Chain A
Amino acid sequence: EAQVTQNPRYLITVTGKKLTVTCSQNMNHEYMSWYRQDPGLGLRQIYYSMNVEVTDKGDVPEGYKVSRKEKRNFPLILESPSPNQTSLYFCASSDRGPNEKLFFGSGTQLSVL
């Protein structure tokens, strides 16, 4: 089944403790992206990747890192999480770029205490 798999679904952590949210797609998509969803603010892009080893900042990249060493994986890294990073995170992918249908993962609800 074609899908974008995100883990974990829920995560509670404390300020400053490094964490990684994984994202994997099995559709051989070139484009992958991370969004955060906050009430009243919609979906805001954190980072995106047009292909392996190519990543770029979105609208809200501060405090986040990403890597794209393999085509299928696009992990989101929070080196030193802070409470303002408490949010619902979505990974998404598309065949070639953001101007095509996005396939979203199931989301990760992160709480930073």
Chain B
Amino acid sequence: SYELTQSPSVSVSPGQTARITCSGDKLGDKYVCWYQQKPGRSPVLVMYQDSKRPSGIPARFSGSNSGNTATLTISGTQAVDEADYYCQAWDRIAVFGGGTKLTVL
């Protein structure tokens, strides 16, 4: 079965750039999206079709996908961005990465 792999955690200082990666076999051939989930809340779509931002998502969020790796980049990270981030792609079924906990120190 298809698998997506994420690093368990990423830490950044406020104002720095956070990069969250998601890897999978030939992932660049698929569309990747990203969800943000805060404790006790439902997920929120923050990036779709690799690099498109839904309405209402700040411009500091950007995305890319090539080869075997997709990356969610948060420029000028703010404390409000602290959350778990999950990548997702389709391989007959919806497949999710294991999630990355972003800590803003």
Decide whether A and B are members of one complex: no
Residues of chain A at the chain B interface (Cβ within 8 Å): none
Residues of chain B at the chain A interface (Cβ within 8 Å): none
